[in-house]
Amino acid sequence: MPELKQIFSTLPNPENQYVTYQNFLHPRREFHTPDAEKLFESRQKEIMQMVRTALSDYLNDENLCNDEENMFPRKSFLTGEWYVHELASFDNEPEFIFSVRTAFLGTDLGYPDDYLGLEVNLYYDRETGKFELDGINSEAL
């Protein structure tokens, strides 16, 4: 699989629309409170480093991603390019849950397009001030 490369949109998303590779808008944002959004923005660098590590770990796990005939996702289809299409939070006392939904491009159709969605979930414990990985969900796009 090629090296992972995050791609960034330059197109604003004023109506907070669902993002695809075809419209390639800024990520959709669904923060449940202004405090959650402020926390995300103040710790975005740390959060995104955790997301990148989780994505890399997932894609490098041969049990989750390989080139077996009936496998999804298949490494040979992945271009290595990915983008964030949605940022969200949920209140789950005593922590915030953050969701960073990503889309990976694949060539299963013969050209680069949305192929694999990976949602990285992190929780933030208000008492300790720390983020922890809460899991990854995958979906075909």
Query: How many independent structural domains does the chain possess?
Result: 1
Q: Is residue 2's pLDDT more than 80?
A: no
The b-or-e profile of 71-87 (16+ CB within 10 A means b, else e) is eebbbebbbbbbbbbbb
**Tokens 């889309």 sit on residue:** 103
pLDDT of residue 8: 97
Q: Is residue 91's pLDDT more than 80?
A: no
User: Alpha-carbon distance 106 to 89, whole Å?
Assistant: 28
pLDDT of residue 1: 63
What pLDDT digit, counting tens, does each position of 117-135 carry?
Answer: 999 999 998 889 999 999 9
What pLDDT digit, counting tens, does each position of 23-65 carry?
Answer: 999 999 999 989 999 999 999 999 999 999 999 999 999 999 9
Range of the domain at 81: 5-11+19-140
